[in-house]
Chains A and B, each alone.
Chain A
Amino acid sequence: MWRVVSRPLTGTHRMQRTWSDGRPTSAITAQIAKANDRLTSFERLEIYNRMYWFRVLDSLYDDCPGLRGVLGDRKFMRLAEAYLVKYPSRSFTLRNLPSRLAKFIREEPQFTHPHTALCLDLAHFEWARVEVFDTAARPLFTVDDLLDADPAKLRLNLQPYLQLLQLDYPVDDYVLEVKKREAELLRGDASNAPSELRSSVTVRLARPRPARTFVAVHRMAGTIYFKRLDPAAYKILTAIRAGKTLEQALSVGVPRAKQPRADWAAKIQGWFANWMELGWFCRAE
């Protein structure tokens, strides 16, 4: 029955009439289910076939406003269906449904051509939003935690939910703009049956032009925020996340230039003060 339920629908959202081996699907369904006085076995199992696809496609639709914006609804649905055929859900929660979407886009670029690089950035960025929303937060690091610390060996820790992204496109601004145009759709797993695909809200904006972009996706009071980072700041933060000492992280981030060090000191001090205010540093586990 699972093969019947998970088989992709037709373009008009109906169960396919022909089975993969050429037999009529009705011959397969008749072996599994009984007909009644109103519905054939095909029609009865089609209810489940449609509900499965409506639910998983709706979930991805909610999670990927940026990808939808770039591809348009029809092309996005083709991508989503092909993705779910190759990588059906392996998690008890729909929250994890987009976790392998970037991998799929890399493996199957024909679904996103000619915007594959942009779509890859969007898949990474939109998955980061999911992760930031409900990943753990640890107790905040405070100035008191610096007491007795050896500056040469000091290692800082970043909040587990903080996501640091290096992107080829400014997709943070793009997604914000798309979401501004759409009504915010809220996630909710419940036990009811979807009766149809949600009617689409097509938001088409000019696609962003390539521009190397460094972004932190973080949260405050339960709300997700995006913060642009200076390339050096990004390098420092990723080095801290990789477990480098503060001294090593700074040496990775600050370019060996002839610029006066005083400028860098003020800049770095400002970054760290800001990151502390945002609660990005936490105590070690």
Chain B
Amino acid sequence: MPANKFNGYTDYGVGIGLRIPHYDHILSQKPTVDWFEIISENFLVDGGRPLDVLDQILAQYRVVQHGVALYFGSAEAPNRDHLRRVKKLIARTKTPWLSDHLCWGSVDGTYSHDLLPMPYTHAAARRTAEKIRQIRDFLEVPIAVENVSSYTEFHVSEMTEWEFLSAVVELADCGILLDVNNIYVSSKNQTFNPYDYLDQIPHHRVAQMHIAGHTKFEKYLLDTHDHAPPDPVWKLYAHAIRQCGVTATLLEWDDKIPTFDEVHNEALKAHEFIDQAREAKIPAPRETVRARAR
């Protein structure tokens, strides 16, 4: 489903993350790029080079905001100053949708700056969905929540990760930013079948997809975004777009960042799978309800 209410009825194509080492190349060469994703928190400032660069980018390109600190899963109320700044940035970027992670990361106003995994409980799903609704009402923009890579499982969890994701997005009536690499990383760390995950989420809610690379350690995978996506991630991506429809896709590359062309060419490999999916003429996903409200 390329355009739906969760991505502002847009069809954005294949984009890459806007990263500092590429600023000069982008501003001087003006390469053709479908869209850029920015990390919202890097631009929640009052002036200076970050906003100067952003304004130049906005004059030429479509930009979508991706956050790392709204912490939908933290128990505390949203930070009003943070939200006010995000809303001001939305007015600047005109982002058709906004994404952040299905995780927690702050406790009583202290921030971890990390994407910490949630216990998959019904109570947590309800509380998280309520917070997403509050934030969406304030920001007045569609929200898509991203599944995170996880390295642990909690005793208190009552369901699988995909059941939890489904419950949250259905209770909040919001979109999903489906991070295919994160599903792969978690499937190896938690020992589940990543295709089960992809098959059992509400496909019509997928507003965007992420692809990325990771690092393989002896006993686990770490979501480092410092490589090109490996083959298993591309295969999962191919399956995901057959299930969910072709949607806005973004390659994340955040560390050991190579040249702009290398990152962009890697992202454009998505077209191979997008073309295959389009040729297959798979019907758009039907609206489904995956989770049972409790």
Which of A59, A135, A192 is close to B48, meaning CB atoms less than 8 Å apart? A135
Q: How far is the CB of B230 from chain A (nearest CB, A)?
A: 15
Q: How far is the CB of B40 from chain A (nearest CB, A)?
A: 9
The interface on chain B, measured as residues whose beta carbon lies within 8 A of the other chain's beta carbons, has a size of 55
The CA-CA distance from A22 to B190 in the complex, in Å, is 31
By a CB distance below 8 angstroms, the chain A residues around B51 are 134
Residue from A89, A132, A135, A191 whose CB has the most chain B CB atoms within 10 Å: A191
Within 8 A of A (CB), among B236-263: 252, 254-255
Contact in complex: A136, B110 (CB < 8 Å):
no
Q: A48-B114, A192-B254 are in contact. Are A222 and B152 (CB under 8 A)?
A: no
Q: How far is the CB of B102 from chain A (nearest CB, A)?
A: 12
The CA-CA distance from A56 to B223 in the complex, in Å, is 18
Which of A6, A33, A47, A134 is close to B222, meaning CB atoms less than 8 Å apart? A47
- Residue A256 interfacial (CB < 8 Å): no
Stretch at the interface among A36-44, A108-116, A140-148, A265-273: A36-44
Within 8 A of B (CB), among A22-56: 31-34, 36-39, 41, 43-45, 47-48, 51-52, 55-56
Q: How far is the CB of B4 from chain A (nearest CB, A)?
A: 23
Contact with B along A188-199 (1 / 0, CB 8 A): 111111110000
Contact in complex: A193, B224 (CB < 8 Å):
yes
The interface on chain A, measured as residues whose beta carbon lies within 8 A of the other chain's beta carbons, has a size of 52
Which of A47, A51, A188 is close to B254, meaning CB atoms less than 8 Å apart? A188
Which of B41, B47, B191 is close to A92, meaning CB atoms less than 8 Å apart? B41
Stretch at the interface among B17-25, B129-137, B167-175, B286-294: B17-25
A-B contact pairs, 28 of them (CB 8 A): A2-B107, A32-B154, A32-B155, A33-B154, A36-B191, A38-B220, A39-B220, A48-B116, A48-B151, A89-B113, A90-B111, A92-B69, A93-B41, A134-B47, A135-B46, A136-B47, A137-B48, A187-B20, A188-B39, A188-B254, A189-B42, A190-B17, A190-B19, A191-B225, A192-B252, A193-B223, A195-B224, A219-B49
- Residues on A lying within 8 angstroms of B by beta carbon are 1-2, 5-6, 31-34, 36-39, 41, 43-45, 47-48, 51-52, 55-56, 59, 88-95, 132-137, 160-161, 186-195, 219, 222-223
